[in-house]
C-alpha cells in the first residue's frame, strides 16, 4: 500500500474512533444513563463532534483526498476516497461552530423530548424543535442554497431522491392502500384480537427477545440487547452492534416485532465484509436500504404465515395457557390485522405507509416554512383524522411519539416506506429460487441470510446505493412489487 493510502487509512481510523465514541455515548444515553446526566454529556459531545469535524474539514484533508484519488488502486480504496470526499463536500461549508452547536442542541433535545412524551406536553419540546427546524433549514442552505431545503435532506438520507419522486411514490401507495383499507372496512372478515391484550410477564417477553435473536441468527458475542424508550439499532463497529427494545406489559407482539425489526438492521451491520473495518466504507448504505432489511425481517419473515406457524408453539411454551383456544390461523391474522391506529411503530403493514405519509408531509412543510412548530400538533391530528380516520387523544400518542425529530432527523421517514418497497421486490425475486414457505415454517433463515449477505450486506458502502438497490432487488426498483404484495396478502387475509 502506498503512503497516501496509508495516510488516508489513518484518517479513516481516527474518524472511526470519534464515530465509535459518539455512538457509545448515544447508546448509553438512550439505555442506562440517569435522567439528570444530559448537561455533561452535551458538553462532551460538542467537543468530540467538533474534533471529528476538524479532522475531516481542513486543507490537509482536502489535499490528501485529491492525492488519494490518484493513488487509489483497488475498488475498495477508490470507494473510500469517494465516501470521504462526499462527506467532506457535504459538510465543509457548515461553519464548525454551527456543526458543534447542532450536536449540542440534539443532545439537549432528546431528554426534553423524553420528558415531553412522558408528560404528553408538546410545549416542553416545541422550543427545541423550533431550533432544530431552523438549524436544518440553515444547514440545507450550506449544502445547496438554490434547492428546496427539504429535498436537500431527502437526498442526504436516500441519495438521488426528489420531492417529485417521493410525491409520486406515496401517490402510488395511496392508490393501493386507501381503497384496500376501505374494502377491508366494508366487507373484510373480522379478525379475532381478544387474546392480544393480556398480561404478558416480562420474564417471558425477555425469553421471546432472546429466541427471536437466536432464530434470526444474531451472534450474542457481537450483538447485545438493551432497553430504551424507542427501539433502535446502533453499530459501534462491525463486531459490536446493539439493538434495543421496549417492553409493554400487556403487548408481547410490540416487543417481538421490535426485536425482529432491529435484528434485521443488526444482521446487515454484522455481516459487512471485515476487510472494510474501520474505513469509510464499512457500515450499511442508505437509510432506505437499511430499512429494507429491518422491515424485511419484521414483516416478510416475521409476519409471514409460515413463520407464524413456527412461532406459535414457541409462544405457547414460553407463556403457558396464554394462547389456549387460539388457532395458529387466528394468531397469524391477529399479528397482521389492518386497522387504523395511533402509533407508527405498532402499525400494521398496510396502514404503515399512511403513518409515514403524515410525517413526510409535515416535515416537508416544517422545512419549507409553510408550517410553524406551534401549529404542528393540530396539523398532525388533522392528518390522522384525514388519512387514518382516527382522533389523536394526546400528543404522547400523536406528534411526540417518535424520537426522530428530537434527534434532528428530518427527511428520514420516507426511507421507511421505500425500504418496505425494496424488501418486497427482493423477496419476490429471491422466492424464484428459495422456498420461503418451507424454510420459514422450519425457522430456517440461513438461506435467506446467505442470499442477502451476497446481494447486499457484504458490501457496506463499497458500492453506490443505486447499484446496491439493483443488486438487492435483482433488477431496477419498481414499487409495484410492494403494492402487489400488499394487495395479495390483505385480499387473502380478509377474504375480500
Q: Contact residues for a copy of itself (CB under 8 A)?
A: 13-14, 16-18, 20-21, 24-25, 27-28, 31-37, 39-41, 43-48, 51, 219-224, 226, 236-240, 277-278
What one-character DSSP code corresponds to residue 128?
A: H
The residues pairing with 244 across neighbouring beta strands, listed in sequence order, are 226
Nearest one of 163, 401, 157 to 290, comparing CA atoms? 157
Nearer to a copy of itself, 206 or 222 (CB): 222
Which cell numbers hold the place of 56?
A: 475531516
- The smaller minimum CB distance to a copy of itself, of residues 27 and 422, is found at 27
Closest distance to a copy of itself from the beta carbon of 30 (Å):
12
Closest CA to 325 of 203, 495, 194: 194
Count of helices and strands (H, E) across the chain:
20, 3
Nearer Cβ to a copy of itself, position 222 or 322? 222
β-partners of residue 241 are 223, 235
Are 236 and 20 in contact, with CB atoms under 8 Å apart?
yes
* Minimum CB distance to a copy of itself smaller for 28 or for 435: 28
Residue with Cβ nearer a copy of itself (31 or 85): 31
CB of 404 to a copy of itself, least distance (A): 23
CA angle, 134 then 91 then 290, to 5°: 85
Are the CB atoms for 390 and 340 separated by under 8 Å? yes
CB of 487 to a copy of itself, least distance (A): 41
What cell numbers appear for 206 in the block? 425477555
Neighbours of 455 (CB within 10 A): 18
Output the smallest distance, CB 194 to a copy of itself, in A: 31
Residue 252 in grid coordinates: 408481547
262, 291, 298, 349: the catalytic one is 262
Q: Between residues 46 and 312, which has the closer beta carbon with respect to a copy of itself? A: 46
- CB 274, CB 457: distance < 8 Å: no
**203, exposed or middle or buried, with CB in 10 Å at 0-12, 13-18, 19+?**
exposed
Cα angle at 283 between 231 and 288, to 5 degrees? 60
Q: Are 252 and 204 in contact (CB under 8 A)?
A: yes
- Least distance in angstroms from the C-beta of 223 to a copy of itself: 6
What are the residue ranges of helices labelled H in 238-304?
252-270, 287-295
Separation CA 346–CA 458 (nearest Å) = 30
Spatial distance between the Cα atoms of 382 and 111, rounded to a whole number of angstroms: 27
Cα separation, 42 vs 36, in Å, equals 12
- Residue 276 near residue 463 (C-beta atoms within 8 A): no
d(CA 151, CA 85): 21
DSSP label of 74:
S
**30 in active site:** no
Nearer to a copy of itself, 278 or 477 (CB): 278
Cα-based distances in Å from 430 to 99, 101, 379, 427, 472: 43, 46, 41, 5, 9
Q: Determine the Cα–Cα distance for residues 56 and 133; give it in Å rounded to an integer.
A: 25
39 or 66, CB closer to a copy of itself? 39
Nearest approach, Cβ of residue 98 and a copy of itself (Å): 18
Question: CB of residue 12 vs a copy of itself: minimum separation in angstroms?
Answer: 11
Q: Which is nearer to a copy of itself, 24 or 191 (CB)?
A: 24
Largest interatomic CA distance in the chain? 70
Q: Which is nearer to a copy of itself, 231 or 288 (CB)?
A: 231
Report in angstroms how near the CB of residue 240 gets to a copy of itself at its nearest.
Answer: 4
Quote the least distance from Cβ 271 to a copy of itself, whole Å: 14
Minimum distance, C-beta of residue 252 to a copy of itself, in the bound complex (Å) = 21
Q: Name the nearest CA neighbour of 6 among 79, 58, 71.
A: 71
State whether residue 404 is helix, strand or coil.
coil
List active site positions. 262
Amino acid at each position: 500500500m502506498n503512503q497516501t493510502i496509508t495516510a488516508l487509512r489513518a484518517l479513516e481510523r481516527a474518524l472511526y474512533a470519534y464515530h465509535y465514541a459518539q455512538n457509545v455515548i448515544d447508546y448509553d444515553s438512550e439505555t442506562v444513563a440517569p435522567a439528570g446526566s444530559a448537561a455533561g454529556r452535551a458538553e462532551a459531545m460538542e467537543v468530540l463532534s467538533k474534533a471529528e469535524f476538524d479532522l475531516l474539514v481542513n486543507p490537509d484533508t482536502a489535499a490528501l483526498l485529491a492525492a488519494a484519488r490518484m493513488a487509489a488502486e483497488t475498488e475498495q480504496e477508490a470507494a473510500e476516497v469517494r465516501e470521504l470526499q462526499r462527506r467532506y463536500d457535504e459538510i465543509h461549508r457548515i461553519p464548525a461552530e454551527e456543526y458543534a452547536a447542532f450536536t449540542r442542541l440534539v443532545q439537549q433535545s432528546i431528554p426534553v423530548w423524553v420528558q415531553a412524551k412522558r408528560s404528553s406536553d408538546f410545549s416542553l419540546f416545541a422550543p427545541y424543535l423550533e431550533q432544530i427546524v431552523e438549524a436544518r433549514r440553515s444547514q440545507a442552505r450550506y449544502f445547496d442554497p438554490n434547492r428546496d431545503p427539504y429535498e436537500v435532506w431527502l437526498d442526504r438520507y436516500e441519495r438521488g431522491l426528489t420531492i417529485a419522486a417521493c410525491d409520486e411514490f406515496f401517490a402510488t401507495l395511496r392508490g393501493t392502500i386507501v381503497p384496500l383499507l376501505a374494502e377491508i372496512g366494508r366487507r373484510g372478515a373480522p379478525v379475532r384480537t381478544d387474546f392480544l391484550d393480556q398480561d404478558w410477564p416480562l420474564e417471558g417477553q425477555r425469553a421471546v427477545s432472546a429466541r427471536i435473536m437466536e432464530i434470526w441468527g444474531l451472534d450474542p458475542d457481537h450483538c447485545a440487547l438493551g432497553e430504551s424508550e424507542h427501539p433502535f439499532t446502533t453499530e459501534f463497529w462491525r463486531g459490536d452492534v446493539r439493538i434495543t427494545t421496549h417492553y409493554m406489559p400487556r403487548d408481547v407482539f410490540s416487543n417481538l416485532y421490535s426485536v425482529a425489526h432491529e435484528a434485521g438492521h443488526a444482521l446487515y451491520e454484522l455481516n459487512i465484509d471485515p476487510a472494510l473495518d474501520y474505513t469509510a466504507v464499512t457500515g450499511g448504505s442508505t437509510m432506505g436500504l437499511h430499512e429494507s432489511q429491518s422491515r424485511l425481517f419484521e414483516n416478510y419473515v416475521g409476519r409471514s404465515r409460515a413463520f407464524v406457524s413456527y412461532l406459535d408453539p414457541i409462544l405457547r411454551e414460553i407463556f403457558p395457557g396464554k394462547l389456549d383456544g387460539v388457532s395458529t390461523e387466528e394468531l397469524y391474522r391477529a399479528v397482521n390485522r389492518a386497522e387504523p391506529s395511533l402509533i407508527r411503530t405498532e402499525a400494521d403493514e398496510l396502514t404503515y405507509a399512511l403513518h409515514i405519509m403524515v410525517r413526510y408531509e409535515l416535515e416537508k412543510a416544517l422545512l419549507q416554512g409553510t408550517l410553524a412548530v406551534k401549529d404542528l400538533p393540530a396539523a398532525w391530528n388533522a392528518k390522522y383524522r384525514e388519512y387514518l380516520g382516527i382522533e389523536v387523544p394526546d400528543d404522547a400518542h400523536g406528534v411526540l411519539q417518535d424520537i426522530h425529530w428530537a434527534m434532528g432527523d428530518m427527511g428520514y421517514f420516507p426511507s421507511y416506506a421505500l425500504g418496505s418497497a425494496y424488501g418486497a421486490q427482493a423477496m419476490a425475486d429471491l422466492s424464484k429460487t428459495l422456498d420461503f414457505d418451507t424454510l420459514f415454517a422450519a425457522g430456517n433463515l440461513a438461506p435467506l441470510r446467505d442470499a442477502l449477505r451476497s446481494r447486499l450486506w457484504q458490501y457496506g458502502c463499497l458500492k453506490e446505493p443505486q447499484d446496491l438497490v439493483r443488486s438487492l432487488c435483482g433488477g431496477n426498483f419498481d414499487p409495484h412489487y410492494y403494492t402487489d404484495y400488499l394487495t395479495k396478502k390483505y385480499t387473502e387475509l380478509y377474504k375480500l
